A and B are shown apart, each in its own frame.
Chain A
Amino acid sequence: DAGITQSPRYKITETGRQVTLMCHQTWSHSYMFWYRQDLGHGLRLIYYSAAADITDKGEVPDGYVVSRSKTENFPLTLESATRSQTSVYFCASSETVNTEAFFGQGTRLTVV
């Protein structure tokens, strides 16, 4: 299917566990982004990537790791999950700096 997809849609994990959220886009967009959405904070940028093998920190990168070995994939890993990382996570991609970002459906992560 064309577009941008995230998996899983829902995830419950325990404190201290490592968890990876997947993001896959079929357009070969250069730019990809990870956000977390929390009530009262809007969307905050965790990491972004301008191309394969190029990643950079956003506003709230602590506790997260990303990689981008292929243009179409941009996984986000929580190395040791904490309750404060309970959130809705959105992945997005855009073709150029002047075009809109297309968002995945979101992953609702609960850390217990």
Chain B
Amino acid sequence: AQKITQTQPGMFVQEKEAVTLDCTYDTSDPSYGLFWYKQPSSGEMIFLIYQGSYDQQNATEGRYSLNFQKARKSANLVISASQLGDSAMYFCAMREHNTGNQFYFGTGTSLTVIP
């Protein structure tokens, strides 16, 4: 079974609007971390935001926030006030703390910001 599922291969958003990128995960480990990365066309992987499974509040980092719904096993990334520079691939990832510490990634969502 897929550990991380990103169901939106491509998304479009108008500049200055907010956008939500979906991510669901599958784990039976009670302790885990969820991550989002950005990959611009230049190819580097840029860490955006982290949410621990025991964190009570949703993580936020500037214009990025993570909508963590533990019971639904979802960890959606919200980007507010989109900018042209946000156009990139976005990857959701999970790390299970008690079952091997492997770092699983989803297939990614390609976001295009329209001026």
Contacts and interface: CB of A to CB of B under 8 A. Distances in A.
Interface of A: 31, 33, 35, 40-45, 48, 50, 56, 58-59, 88, 90, 92, 94, 97-103, 105-106
Given A43-B91, A97-B33, A97-B97, A92 B43 contact: no
Interface in B57-98: 91, 93, 95, 97
B103 to A, nearest CB: 6
Contacts of A92: 45, 103
Interface of B: 6, 33, 35, 43-45, 47, 50, 52, 91, 93, 95, 97, 100-108
A30 B8 CA distance: 34
A42 B103 contact: no
Given A98-B33, A98-B52, A100-B35, A48 B103 contact: yes
A45 B100 CA distance: 13
A99 to B, nearest CB: 8
